[in-house]
């Protein structure tokens, strides 16, 4: 037990020495750092390594080696309140084996950055202080370099003439780009983009004022569709779900969106977008009636699920 406590205390000292914010100066972050280093209680700091490891395996590792059992819903806390800050500080890399891996991929992994590993292996040695000083003098450059690498892998989306946003890498974001750049000019020409979601940042783009003017006020807890368009010519709101692995507009989702947009002064159109028909085939039995389906690899076609209108709100 003393070895466990010693390693946790040491990891916390390192986090403080590296200048991470107070919100990360806690046991959760210390244990996460130990997991990233694969530093079990019987190992010395010189034996630390930088294996690839995901969030759930980190939690399993902590449970196995440090007897701390985190609840499953702690996963997002570790990701958002520890890993994000480790990445921003340049001490942890995200998906170094496949930088364009989707943010919400179950295969997502983290790894201690090589220079940080070299530094941490010197903890409890005579070289630690000098190594720390040298590392901190270079860290901003290191963090900046990796931040640029992450930005390079993001998906650019043209939201209007001369204005772009970027989304987290992955198939889901590629499909959102196709919705905005391919679907909307064909089926809602001249529409206004009101909202775009992102797997890495819930609200990548949100024109709350325009949406509020249409009678819809959304708080931060509302489960928004992936894309919301105002088709001004018809005065419709198009609520579009981007589906690569889950989440078509089924009966339950249809009801959720109807409730979320219940204040809308104009008609609602529900659309599920798929990257291809192979993915669509997996969800055909789930798709709600009186909705539309669009497939990105056949962008000029729209599939209408029943009802009296080809594309339009059902009043």
pLDDT digits (tens, 9 = 90+) for 5-36: 889 999 999 998 888 888 888 999 999 999 99
Q: Are the beta carbons of 219 and 203 closer than 8 angstroms?
A: no
For residue 230, give its domain range. Answer: 155-304
pTM higher than 0.85, yes or no?
Answer: no
| Residue finishing a domain among 126, 152, 178 | 152
User: What is the chain's length?
Assistant: 315
Q: Which of 134, 152, 170 is the last residue of a domain?
A: 152
Same domain, 94 and 161: no
Residue 165, number of CB atoms within 10 A of its CB: 18
Cα dihedral across residues 135, 138, 140, 142: positive or negative: negative
The CATH number that applies at residue 233 is 3.40.1350.80
314 in a structural domain: no
Return d(Cα 278, Cα 166) in angstroms, integer: 27
Identify the DSSP state of 53.
B
Are residues 119 and 164 located together in one domain of the fold?
no
pLDDT digits 0-9 by tens, 124-180: 999 999 899 888 887 765 555 555 665 565 656 666 666 676 677 778 888 988 998
d(CA 219, CA 260): 10
Report if residue 50 sits inside a domain.
yes
Last residue of a domain, one of 152, 182, 207: 152
HSE, side-chain direction, 13 A CA sphere, residue 168: 18
Which CATH number belongs to the domain containing residue 143 in this structure?
Answer: 1.10.10.1820
pLDDT digits (tens, 9 = 90+) for 234-281: 999 999 999 987 778 999 999 999 999 999 999 999 999 999 999 999
Give pLDDT tens digits for 52-96.
999 999 999 999 999 999 999 899 899 989 998 898 888 999 999
């Amino acid at each position: 037990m003393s070895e466990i406590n010693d390693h946790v205390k040491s990891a916390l000292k390192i986090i403080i020495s590296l200048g991470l914010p107070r919100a990360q100066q806690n046991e959760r972050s210390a244990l996460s750092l130990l997991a990233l280093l694969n530093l079990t209680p019987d190992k010395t700091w010189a034996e630390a390594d930088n294996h690839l490891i995901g969030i759930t395996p980190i939690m399993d590792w902590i449970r196995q080696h440090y007897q701390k059992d985190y609840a499953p819903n702690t996963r997002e806390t570790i990701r958002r309140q520890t890993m994000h800050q480790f990445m921003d500080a340049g001490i942890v890399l995200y998906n170094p084996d496949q930088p364009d891996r989707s943010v919400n991929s179950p295969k997502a992994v983290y790894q201690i950055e090589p220079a940080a590993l070299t530094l941490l292996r010197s903890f409890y040695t005579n070289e630690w202080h000098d190594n720390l000083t040298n590392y901190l003098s270079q860290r901003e450059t290191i963090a900046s370099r990796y931040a640029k690498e992450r930005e390079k892998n993001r998906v650019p989306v043209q939201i209007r003439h001369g204005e772009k946003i970027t989304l987290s890498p992955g198939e889901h974001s590629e499909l959102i780009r196709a919705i905005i750049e391919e679907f909307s000019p064909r089926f809602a020409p001249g529409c206004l983009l009101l909202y775009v979601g992102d797997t890495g940042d819930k609200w990548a783009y949100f024109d709350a004022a325009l949406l509020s003017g249409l009678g819809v006020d959304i708080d931060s807890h509302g489960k928004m569709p992936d894309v919301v368009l105002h088709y001004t010519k018809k005065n419709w709101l198009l609520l579009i779900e981007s589906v690569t692995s889950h989440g078509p507009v089924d009966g339950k989702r249809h009801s959720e969106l109807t409730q979320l947009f219940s204040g809308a002064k104009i008609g609602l159109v529900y659309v599920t977008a798929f990257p291809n028909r192979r993915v669509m085939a997996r969800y055909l039995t789930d798709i709600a009636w009186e909705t539309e389906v669009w497939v990105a690899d056949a962008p000029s076609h729209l599939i209408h699920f029943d009802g009296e209108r080809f594309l339009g709100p059902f009043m």
